[in-house]
Structure 1
Amino acid sequence: MYQAHVDVAVIGGGPAGTAAALALLRYSRHRVLLLERTSYEERRIGETVSSGLRPLLSYLGVDDPLPGNHLRSAGRIAAWGHSQPAIRESLFDASGPGWHLDRRRFDASLADAVERLGGTVLRGTAASSAARAGKAWELTIKGRATGRILAEHLIVASGASSAFQTALGSSRLAHDRLLALVTFVEATAAPTLLIEAAPDGWWYSAPSADGIVAAYMTDADLISPKSLGAAGFASLLVQAPLTTARLSGSGPRSRPRAFLAFSQVANPCLGENWVGAGDAVASFDPLSSLGIGHAVATGIQAARIVAERLAGRGGLGATYSSDVALNVRTYQEQRRFLYGLERRWSDRAFWSRRHREPALARPLRGSARDTAQFVLPA
C-alpha cells in the first residue's frame, strides 16, 4: 500500500497540473506529488498553439518540447462568414509560427520534467476521495498505486468534469452545451489549421502525429446517437465542403467520440487549503484557442498561491476569483464577436443562441459528463 506525506498534492497531470508542479519545484523547496489517472498512452485531442506558449514553458524551466516533437503550423484557414476561405500564413505572425501539438507527447514530457526536478508522479492513479485531517487533506488513491496520501495543500487540475472538485464544495456554472464529435483519420495534410462553419455548428481539422484530427462542434441537444455512426457522421461532414475535400481519399477513420467542449466557470475556484487550475477553474469554447495557454498560466498562478499560503501569506489568493471572473468576461466578449462574424445561418438554433447575449450561467447537476450521456451509447 502506497503512503506518503507531502506539502502539495496535484490532482491531474495535464498541462495545468504539470505546470503547477513544475512551478512549485523550481521556485520552492516543497515536496510535490502529482496524480495522473492515465499513463499518457491513450489518444488525446491535439491543439494548435501559438509561439506565445514558449515564455511560459521557459518560466517553468522546461527544455523546449516543441521543435522535433510536434508539427510546425504553417497558418490558419477559416471559412467563416462566407464560403470563400480566408488564409493567414504563420509567416506573417509577429511572434512566429505555432505548433500542432501531439498531446500525448506534450503532456508526458511535462510529467517527465516534474520527475527530473524531484517531484513524484503516480501515473495510472486517481484520487477517489478526500477528507480533512486537521488542516491537511487525506487522499485515498486507486489504480496502479493504492493507498493514502497526506497533503498539506491540494491543487485540483483534473478537468472541467471534475467530480472531485465538486466534492470539495465547488459547483460549475455552464454557459452553453457545446459538444465535440472527434475522429482521427489516417491521412497526410498540409500543416494548416482549418475552421469551417456549417449550418448547425462548425468543423475543426488539423494535422496530428496520427494523421488528421477532425472535430465537429455543435450543441448536445442538436445531435443524435446516429451521428456517432459512419453514415450519420458523413451526413454532417457533407455540409462542410472544405473539410470534406481535406478528408477525401483518406485512410480509415476512428469511430467518432463525443467530448465535452462547453464554456464553464467554477464557483468557488479555491477554498481552504485547495486551489483549482486549468479547466477545473474555467473552460472555454475551442474557437477561442485559450485551452493550453490558460491551463499553463492558471497552473503557475495556483502554484504561487499555494506557495504563499504555505509561507503564511495569502495576498494572491484574495484576488484569484476576481482574476478568473475578469478572464471569463473578456472571453465572453471575444466569443460573442467571433460568432457574430458568421450570419449565414442566423435562423438556426446553434447560431441564434450565440448571436444573443450570453445566457445566465446555470449550475451543472451532478457530473458534467452527464451532459453528453444521451449521445453516448452504453
Structure 2
Amino acid sequence: MRVPAAADRDGPRAGEDQVDVLILGAGPAGAAAAITLRRHTRLRVALVERRLFDPFRPGETVSPALFPLLEYLGIARAGVEQRHLESYAHAAAWGGEELVVRDFLFNGRGSGLHLDRLAFDSMLLDQAGQLGAQIVQPAELLGIAPGARWTVTLRQGERQRALSAAYVIDCSGRSSVMVRQQQCPVLQTDRMVGVYAYYEAGQRERLQRTLVETTEDGWFYLAPLPAGRSALAFMTDAETLRTLDLLDPASWRRHALASRHIGPLLRELPAPQALRQYPIHSRVARLPGNAAWTAAGDAAASFDPVSSLGIGHALSSGIQAGRVAHAFLEQGGGLGEGYRQSLLDHFESYAKTRRALYANERRWPGSGFWQRRLAHDCARAA
C-alpha cells in the first residue's frame, strides 16, 4: 500500500467518519498504537494530529533497546540506522568534575541512535498510513462527547468535521486531553522544564556521543543530530528558568559557556536555529481499568529526560494501548487493569531510580534545585 498523500490528510473519504479506534496524537505513541491495531486486527483506525510535525523536537538519543520495539512494528533495524546517526557512547560529569564514559559497543546489542525526530516520527506515521490507518493532520480538536460511541469534533481549515469512534486512545502528550476530560487522578513529582537550543553545525566527530554535565542550577545535555546538527538542552525548575532568564539567547549562552565541559564545545557552535521550552515534569495518570478509552505515551506517564525512557515508553505503551483497545472491543475488556497497574508499577520503580541518581550529586548542598530532587515526599496529586 502507498504512503498517504497530503490530500489524504485533508479530508474524509466515504465511510471514514465511522471508525473503531480513534487515536488522539500521531507521535510515536499514537503511531505505535495504530500500527499495532492495523497489523494484528481488522479494526478501523484514525489518527488525529493537531499540527504538522515540528523539525525541532526533543528526544534525540535512544539506546539499542529500541530496536526490538521497532521490529515488532514491522520496521527493520537496518532501514532505521541508515536514516539516523549512530550513537556509540554516553559521557557524564554527574557527581564529580570528570567525565565518565559508557560505551554502547560492549553491551552486546550494538550502538544506539541520535535521531532526526522529524524523520523518525514521519517514518512511523507513514507506516501507519501504509497499513490502512486514516491520518487526519493537521486538525484542531474542538470537543469529545461520550455516548454509545465517542463523537470527536474537529476543525480542518475552515470547516468542521465529526468522527465517531467506539474507542479512544489518548496519545496527546503532556496535554493529555482525555485524561483531563475524564478527570483521572494524576501524580506529579516536580515542575521541571527543559530549554533546548538547536544548532545547524558542529564538530560532528567530537560529538559522536551524548554529553551530560551538572551545574548548581540543573544539568546540561548535548547530543549530535543527523546532517551535522546538534541539540543542547538545560534541565531545571520553572522558577530557576525565570530567574536565570534562560529564554534570552544572550543569557542562555553565558550560562552554557560557564560550564566546564559544555562551554568549550559551545564556543565552536553558531547562534542556535531555535530556542524552545518544554515541560519535563514526571507524572503518571491512574487510568481506568476497563473503559472505552485509555492513554499512552506522555499522556499516560512522562519521565525526567535523565531516564532516557521517553521514546521507548512511547512505543511500548502505544503497543500495549492498542492491545487494550482490541481486547475491549472484541472481548469486552481483559487487559485494561493489567496495563493500568503496569504503568503505576513502572513509574514507582522509575521514581526510586531517579531519586537515587540525583542523590549522587552532592556538590551543591545549598542549591534549591538539588534539594528539591531529594525531597522524600515529592509525589502529589495534580
The alignment's TM-score, normalised by the length of structure 1, stands at 0.91
Instruction: Pick one of 270, 292, 297 that aligns with 2:316.
Output: 297
Letter in 2 for 1:182: Y
Q: Is the 8 A contact 1:181 1:256 kept in 2?
A: yes
Q: Is the 8 A contact 2:95 2:360 kept in 1?
A: yes
1:205 counterpart = 2:227: no
RMSD (Å), alpha carbons:
1.8
Output aligned runs, 1:1-378, within 5 Å: 2=12, 4-64=17-77, 65-134=79-148, 136-144=149-157, 146-188=160-202, 189=204, 190-209=207-226, 211-224=229-242, 226-268=245-287, 272-363=291-382
Cα drift, residue 130 of structure 1: 0.5
Q: Determine helix, strand or coil for the equivalent of 1:228.
A: coil
Cα drift, residue 255 of structure 1: 4.6
The alignment's TM-score, normalised by the length of structure 2, stands at 0.90
Q: Is the 8 A contact 1:154 1:273 kept in 2?
A: yes
Bigger mean CA offset, 19-28 vs 337-346: 337-346
Q: CA 1:42 to 1:129, structure 2 compared with 1: closer, same or farther past 3 Å?
A: farther
Q: CA 1:321 to 1:85, structure 2 compared with 1: closer, same or farther past 3 Å?
A: same
Q: CA 1:128 to 1:146, structure 2 compared with 1: closer, same or farther past 3 Å?
A: same
Bigger mean CA offset, 41-50 vs 210-219: 41-50
Moved runs in structure 1, 4+ residues, more than 4 A?
Answer: none
Q: Determine helix, strand or coil for the equivalent of 2:355.
A: helix
Q: CA 1:260 to 1:128, structure 2 compared with 1: closer, same or farther past 3 Å?
A: same
Q: CA 1:185 to 1:60, structure 2 compared with 1: closer, same or farther past 3 Å?
A: same
Distance 2:22 2:381 in 1: 30
Q: Is the 8 A contact 2:172 2:298 kept in 1?
A: yes
Unaligned segments of structure 1, at least 5 residues: 364-378
Q: Is the 8 A contact 2:56 2:274 kept in 1?
A: no
Q: Is the 8 A contact 1:66 1:99 kept in 2?
A: no
Q: Is the 8 A contact 1:269 1:276 kept in 2?
A: no
Cα drift, residue 184 of structure 1: 0.7
Deviation string 1:262-304 (CA, Å, 9 cap, x unpaired) is 1011133566210100110110000001101111111111111
Q: Determine helix, strand or coil for the equivalent of 1:315.
A: coil
Distance 1:246 1:313 in 2: 56
Distance 1:143 1:194 in 2: 42
Cα drift, residue 320 of structure 1: 2.0
Bigger mean CA offset, 76-85 vs 264-273: 264-273
Q: Is the 8 A contact 2:21 2:167 kept in 1?
A: yes
Letter in 1 for 2:309: L
Deviation string 1:99-153 (CA, Å, 9 cap, x unpaired) is 011111111110100111111111212432110232x100001234740100010
Give the number of aligned pairs: 362
Question: 1:367 aligns to what?
Answer: none
Cα drift, residue 362 of structure 1: 2.9
Deviation string 1:40-71 (CA, Å, 9 cap, x unpaired) is 25421242111111111111112335211111
Unaligned segments of structure 2, at least 5 residues: 1-10
Bigger mean CA offset, 236-245 vs 274-283: 236-245
Q: Determine helix, strand or coil for the equivalent of 2:17.
A: strand
Q: Is the 8 A contact 1:10 1:154 kept in 2?
A: yes
Letter in 1 for 2:361: E
Q: Percent identity?
A: 36
Cα drift, residue 164 of structure 1: 4.4
